[in-house]
Chain A
Amino acid sequence: MAKDELMNYEKALEQFEVVIGLEVHVELNTKTKMFCGCRNEFGDEPNTNVCPICIALPGSLPAVNRRAVESSISIGLALGCEIAPTGRFARKNYFYPDLAKNFQTSQYDEPIAYEGQLEVEVPSGKTFTVLIERAHMEEDAGKLTHVGGNTGRIQGAEYSLVDYNRAGVPLVEIVTKPVYGAGAEAPELAAAYVRSIREIVKALGVSDARMERGNVRCDANVSLRLHGAEKLGTRTETKNVNSLRSIERAVRYEIQRQAAILAKGGTITQETRHWHEDKGATSSGRPKSDADDYRYFPEPDLVPVQPSKELIESLRAALPEQPSVRRKRLQGEWGFSDLEFRDVVNADLLDQIVETVAAGAKPQSARKWWTGELARIANAEEKDAAELAITPAEVAELATLVESGKINDRLAREVLGYVLAGEGSPSSVVAARGLEVVSDDSALLAAIDEALAKQPDVLEKIREGKVQAAGAVIGAVMQAMKGSADAGRVRELILERAAQ
């Protein structure tokens, strides 16, 4: 992969205005596929959730999943969209083996939802209104595995293997209008937007919304134009950005790459680009086809969808609270400061803390674990904290062990390491490895007396009122006990000794 020239980010923003557009695909969690009764399930044996319809055997006919239509309407309503009184499916023709039909059943000029908007808060606290152009129903494609070649990537592949389990899984594609004015915060806004979409579909219960499984996927369009220019610049569409962190990085990369080309008088090629998480770079994919190369036409095998007013209103009445409302409520319930709460949201840890608190942890200790030690570990592993191999219930258990005095903070961090390494729940790690704090006073007193023997003037100082002198002894005792002592208890015992 050729190395792209990148312009310094601040310099790029001095010269150019950034315009982004986002397409988010949400996989619905219906029991069955969009047009047939095959199971919609992740991770099953290949080609076991397939039937004549989703592998396109001759003569098979699709039928629309009612639940998928209702879920799509709910998403549209949650995004403040109008719901189309009538809409048709269309065939999007393309020749690629990820769908056996040689077309994707989608919606073209009659999306089920259109003209909405979403308030999105970025890490600085600023709020942007992202206008939604449309949300339409379609089907997911099968999964291709490219075999052979030396890189594992598509170049050099000798053949491909196709699993159609995912072919026909219901998708809702949400498309924004061009988003202007985010400037340097465009990458953060892109990630925050996808985070909000994910929160909404999760709250609606219409998608599992797990990005690592591809339940929510984002294509990011980026273009630059000189400040003050009216005409939009040529855009690129970066695909394969499957975590919030990558969305932010990919948009930032495209801004820097395009700026370097434009500043030299070059032109941007309108194309699809692929994001490579490992290299932190995008690479050129295929040139973007013109829309009418897909030869869209109405799907003759399906009749129009015409949701009744009653259906729309009943779905509207069942909408959960808006993400912004939910956030205000949670902040109030937990008693977090604005700064604390924003850190939680920006680290994408809201759901983790909700679940950790539900599992019995105090909100503040749930927050400290997730935004502290766990965020630090995740950061070092270049992951999202939510991807770490620990459940909110286990974090709650850990917090409770600390609060009950069974382990101290240092031991808790050690226990955490073992939990992440797969040794089991915090309690079982503590039991198996004997990591409880030494609360046996006689063991502590022995260590204290030994330390006092080496620092005989300490007790005298404490008696004179210099209580801080105890610190040196506490340190020595903790060291002797290899950290597995309750420092508070050690201090108490030293003060008792001084009082004797």
Chain B
Amino acid sequence: MSELTPDLVRHLAGLARILVTDEEVNRLTEQLSLIVDSVATVNAAVAGDVPATSHPIPMANVFREDVVEPSLTQAEALSGAPESAEGRFKVAAILDEE
């Protein structure tokens, strides 16, 4: 069984800065529980000696050389921004951190 509770969903929504209604919390709790439980069945399918994997193909050391490649222009970079000013992305003031 998943440990997903409505409080945890509210906490996650808070971390993600998403406003959720009680009705949404209930629906999300149900849906997220289903997802987490489904993924948890994988745990049952493998023995404890199977190493965790984060990549489907066993490969390592894929590097890029330290060579400058072209960047976007400022106009290109800002072209998708809902708002911009002084060559920068304009965002809502965030109050809790420097």
Chain A residues in the interface with B (C-beta under 8 A): 30-32, 35-39, 45-52, 55, 57, 63-69, 86, 88, 93-97, 144-146, 148-149, 154-155, 157-164, 239-240, 272, 274, 285-286, 293, 295, 298-300, 302-307
Contact = CB atoms under 8 A, between A and B. Distances in A.
Given A66-B63, A305-B61, A154 B93 contact: yes
B31 to A, nearest CB: 18
B71 A49 contact: yes
Closest 3 CB pairs of A and B: A37-B69, A298-B54, A67-B66
A36 B65 CA distance: 10
B86 interface: yes
B9 interface: no
Interface in B13-67: 15-17, 52, 54-55, 59-67
A41 to B, nearest CB: 9
Given A47-B89, A48-B71, A158-B93, A66 B60 contact: no
B4 interface: no
Contacts of B96: 285-286
Given A45-B74, A52-B72, A86 B95 contact: no
A46 B87 contact: yes
Interface of B: 15-17, 52, 54-55, 59-74, 77-78, 80, 85-98
Contacts of A46: 74, 86-88
A157 B94 CA distance: 8
A64 B52 CA distance: 22
B98 A306 contact: no
Interface class of chain B by DSSP: loop
Contact of B54 (A50, A158, A299): A299
A97 B94 contact: yes
B28 to A, nearest CB: 16
B98 A64 contact: no
A112 to B, nearest CB: 13
Contacts of B73: 48
Contact of B61 (A38, A47, A303): A303
11 contacts: A47-B78, A51-B69, A67-B66, A97-B89, A146-B93, A154-B94, A161-B89, A163-B89, A295-B15, A303-B55, A304-B60
A86 B54 contact: no
A161 B85 contact: yes
B16 A95 contact: yes
Given A97-B89, A161-B88, A48 B68 contact: no
A164 B66 CA distance: 19
A285 B54 contact: no
B72 A50 contact: yes
A398 to B, nearest CB: 39
